[in-house]
């Protein structure tokens, strides 16, 4: 199992994305969070297809922090069912991974 993860979530606006990003980094659940520019999402919700503008958060963290990170996202997120997807990091620059480990807290 990888020691590091890239976690993604979508938010409805840039301000909410920045708010969540700052909290995750302040609480050291993530070493870095990148807020994307606006994109279009198409999805099923409540028996109909919805089209929305959203922003993606790319969250860089340790695998052992996923549960705490997911809980914090659920607390801060405006959606009733936030997307929280985690992908193991199979390879990375060792100096970057060392920095990522240093900047995140112990669970």
Q: What is the predicted pLDDT for the residue at 1?
A: 54
Segments forming the whole domain that contains residue 37:
4-103
**pLDDT tens digits for the chain (107 residues)?**
569 999 999 999 999 999 999 999 999 999 999 999 999 999 999 999 999 999 999 999 999 999 999 999 999 999 999 999 999 999 999 999 999 999 998 65
| Spatial separation of the C-alpha atoms in residues 70 and 99, rounded to whole Å | 22
| Spatial separation of the C-alpha atoms in residues 84 and 42, rounded to whole Å | 17
Q: How many domains does the chain have?
A: 1
CATH number of the CATH domain containing 44: 3.30.70.120
Element (H, E) at 86: strand 85-88
Q: pTM for the whole thing?
A: 0.94
């Amino acid at each position: 199992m990888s020691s590091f993860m890239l976690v993604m979530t979508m938010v409805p606006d840039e301000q909410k994305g920045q708010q969540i990003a700052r909290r995750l980094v302040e609480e050291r659940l993530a070493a870095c969070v990148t807020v994307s520019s606006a994109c279009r999402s198409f999805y099923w919700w409540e028996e109909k297809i919805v089209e929305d503008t959203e922003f993606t958060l790319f969250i860089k963290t340790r695998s052992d922090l996923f549960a705490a990170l997911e809980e914090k996202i659920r607390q801060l997120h405006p959606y009733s069912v936030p997307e929280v997807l985690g992908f193991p990091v199979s390879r990375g620059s060792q100096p970057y991974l060392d920095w990522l480990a240093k900047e995140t807290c112990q669970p």
